[in-house]
Amino acid sequence: MEALANQRLTLERLRKRITRRLAILVNSCVHCGLCSDSCHYYLAENSNRFIPAFRTDRLSSLFRRYHTWLGRRIPFWVGAKGVEELSIKELTDAVFGECSMCGRCAINCSVGLDIGFLIREARKILAELDQVPGGLQSTVDKAVTTGNNMAITEEELIGTLQWLEEELQQEVADRRAKIPLNKVGARVLYTLNPREPKFFPLSIIAIAKIFYAADEDWTISSTNFDATNYAYYSGDDQAARTIAGRLVEETERLGARILAVTECGHAYRSLRWEAPNWLGKRFDFQVKSILELIADYIRQGRIRLDSSIHSAPVTLHDPCNLVRYGGVMEVQRYILRKAVSNFVEMHPNRERNYCCGGGGGLLSMSEYAELRLKAGKAKAEQIRRTGAKVVAAPCHNCIDQLMELNKKYKLGIETKTIGEIVADALILPSRRVNSAIESASKKG
Amino acid sequence: MLPLSQALSLGALLFCIIALLYMLLQVRHLPHQRDLATPRGRWWEGIVYAFTKALLPWSKESSTRHLVSYLAGVVFHLSTFFALFLFFLSFWLKSVPASLKLWGSLGLWSGLLCGFGLLLKRIFTPHLRSLSYPDDYFSNALVEAFLLVSWISLREGEFPPYFYFIAVIFFLYLPLGKLRHALFCLYARAVWGSFFGRRGVLSLWGAKRTEGR
């Protein structure tokens, strides 16, 4: 009885879900299979079920069954399958557990199909059927009900930031160095990944130090600080709208001109590219990755860096949602060339990079953890080939996955955010003044 | 008055065009989300990229890694377009010029061999077989048949009725099965180019776009 109700519901959702883009894509796959080895899951496991086209065919076969002439009459001929033949468990595993929505197959598809988009459409249907894996769903629920995905209270955050402010003041030896909270009229509203105040506070100090050195007019909201949006991954557009809407409202309330997104791939994608569509409006402020701001500071001479601090080889991981789906490709390279003396590129890189395996919300779905780490093999090998000792990863999800890959594949690397690398290489304004005096006295 | 075979083939072509146009209109009427995010790159640059640079064998990892399959696919498709061109030409051509006979035969044979190779690959490669349905095999075989009768017609110097009968099946089947990708692939490629072009990921001149300051 329940199965029948589920089937009806799926069918109904499928009917509602068909957008122009979806119809074009499901009509275009020619089953050439050339996408197979662009997928890190297929490379690691070499199994048919990990071929991107095979994964999306579950959705396409439903479309063919109900929306094509041959599919309605001779379903076996075109591989059309009805809802009754669809295993919800299989579909859930395929689109949630066996795909990080990295889009590498989309870039490499010989036809030009955005397979990541198809996977998210399938996730949307499953979200409406309440089939989102528990870990991911509870992350979304926490964000919706508490305002951030780790349920950090305002008091907790304020306490942490006050402690970090003291650390910052000690580090820059300046009592005027601040982490401004809820400042109306600040130019930049900086957002966090809740993992930062909870587990990686050093990355907040790093950015605060950069803002201090650049003399930026910035602030953090004590209530709406979470840049992440796991509803993007779960396929729940209503929740995604709620989560993104809070930050947009906060930016408007504080009158910031720039909403700066912390180093987090999917947060950047969600706020920069998806949020205007979820909310149905264009923003009056700019959404920028913190990397873009840092690059601006370097170009404008607002901060200066001493690259000799980092002499060990440093390589760069390109987070899929920031690079392939976000278009932020060159600023991180520009920054690293200024901040380290031995920058080594991974190959392939930029939009052709391999996913680390930590995207798609997979870090929150413990039932797929083993497969996630296996799928990270391509990235681990890529890192090993560079011989780098430090991996710069401008994404906290990627950093978590890279740390696990480091253990599993014994890479012997250290993972850092770009902000942390830049903060270490900063020539602070006081030192700048001192060195100017020194060089003037030498010349004199 | 046209011979029956030719008249039937024109009827099938008309059905094919109307069916494809109908599908196109259906798709155009589906809900579409306009992208409201401020673009970083240019959508049209992405579309131009999708139809030019992206087609080069070295532009995508999938084509460089599977160069033989990719090139075989390109030749197979070019031959099919040539066979279609011959179909239209057949209504006007009184006799086949020698140069067309030579080069056309070469092109059609290349297409036949490549198509046959791809069919064998589909049959014998397990991962490709797992992706395939009868429609995939039939579509390939139908195009092969069309290329074969085109080649025979060129060699004979005239277009016999069976050339048009195969054309009838080809045009009738095109909108129904996998062959309709002839229309949708172009659309999908444009959508792909526009999407990634807008985000500044695809660029014609190699330089990636950075956000305006």
Determine the Cα–Cα distance for residues B23 and A67; give it in Å rounded to an integer: 11
Find the length of chain B: 213
Residues 6+ apart with CB under 8 A from A293: A188, A216, A258, A260
pLDDT tens-digit series, residues A88-130:
899 999 999 999 999 999 999 999 999 999 999 999 999 988 9
Per-residue model confidence (pLDDT) at position A328: 96
From A128, A99, A97, select the one nearest A115 (Cα to Cα): A99
Q: Which has more pLDDT, B102 or A11?
A: B102
Give ipTM to 2 decimals. Answer: 0.93
Nearest CB to B188; choose among A35, A113, A330: A113
Q: What is the pLDDT of residues A40-72, one digit of tens each?
A: 999 999 999 999 999 999 889 999 999 999 999
pLDDT of res. B212: 47
pLDDT tens sequence across A375-389: 999 999 999 999 999
Please classify residue B205 by burial: count the beta carbons closer than 10 Å to its beta carbon, then call 0-12 exposed, 13-18 middle and 19+ buried: exposed
The strand pairing partners of A259, in sequence order, are A189, A287
What's the rounded Cα separation, in Å, for the pair A404 and A408?
6
Q: Do residues A380 and A411 touch, judged by C-beta distance below 8 A?
A: yes
Contact criterion met (CB < 8 Å) for A31 and B128: yes
pLDDT for A439 equals 54
Residues of B in contact with A111 (CB under 8 A): 181, 185, 188-189
State the pLDDT at residue A15.
72
Orientation of helix A52-67 relative to helix A115-128, angle to 10°: 60
Q: Which amino acid is at B148?
A: L
Rounded-to-integer distance, Cα B150 and Cα B86, Å = 7
Chains A and B form CB pairs within 8 A to the count of: 179
Tell whether B208 is within 8 A of chain A (Cβ): yes
pLDDT at B213: 38
DSSP A368-403: GHHHHHHHTHHHHHHHHHHT-SEEE-S-HHHHHHHH
Are the Cβ atoms of A286 and B211 closer than 8 angstroms? yes
For residues B57 and B64, is the Cβ–Cβ distance under 8 A? yes
Contact check, Cβ <8 Å, A106/B28 = no
Give the pLDDT score at B93: 82
State whether B187 and A76 contact (CB < 8 Å). no
The single-letter DSSP state of residue A181 is B
Question: Do the chains contact at A30 and B181, CB–CB below 8 Å?
Answer: yes
3-class DSSP state for residue A74?
coil
Flag whether residue B64 sits within 8 Å of chain A, measured between CB atoms: no
Phi, psi of B113 (to 5 degrees): -65, -45
Distance separating alpha carbons of residues B143 and B151, to the nearest angstrom: 12
pLDDT of residue A436: 46
Q: State the pLDDT at residue B56.
A: 94
Q: Supply the mean pLDDT for chain B.
A: 93
pLDDT digits (tens, 9 = 90+) for B159-188: 999 999 999 999 999 999 999 999 999 999
Amino acid at A87: S
Q: Would an 8 Å CB–CB cutoff place B135 in contact with chain A?
A: yes
| Mean pLDDT to the nearest integer, B33-37 | 92
B interface test, pick of A287, A328, A331, A332 with most B CB neighbours within 10 Å: A328
Is A27 touching B (CB cutoff 8 A)? yes
Chain A within 8 Å of B56 (Cβ-Cβ)? Answer: no
User: Residue B137: pLDDT above 90?
Assistant: yes
Name the residue in chain B with its Cα closest to that of A286: B38
Q: How far apart are CA B202 and CA B207, in angstroms?
A: 9
Phi-psi region of B206 (alpha: psi -120 to 50; beta: other; left: phi over 0): left
pLDDT in tens, B48-88: 999 999 999 999 999 999 999 999 999 999 999 999 999 99
The alpha carbons of chain A give a radius of gyration, in whole angstroms, of: 23
B77 near A CB under 8 A: no
CB contact under 8 A, B184 and A31: no
Average pLDDT, chain A: 93
pLDDT value at residue A72: 94
The pLDDT of A166-174, averaged and rounded, is 95
- Separation between Cα atoms, residue B198 and residue B40, nearest integer Å: 6
Residues A312-356 have pLDDT tens digits of 999 999 999 999 999 999 999 999 999 999 999 999 999 999 999
> Would an 8 Å CB–CB cutoff place B136 in contact with chain A?
yes
Length of chain A: 444
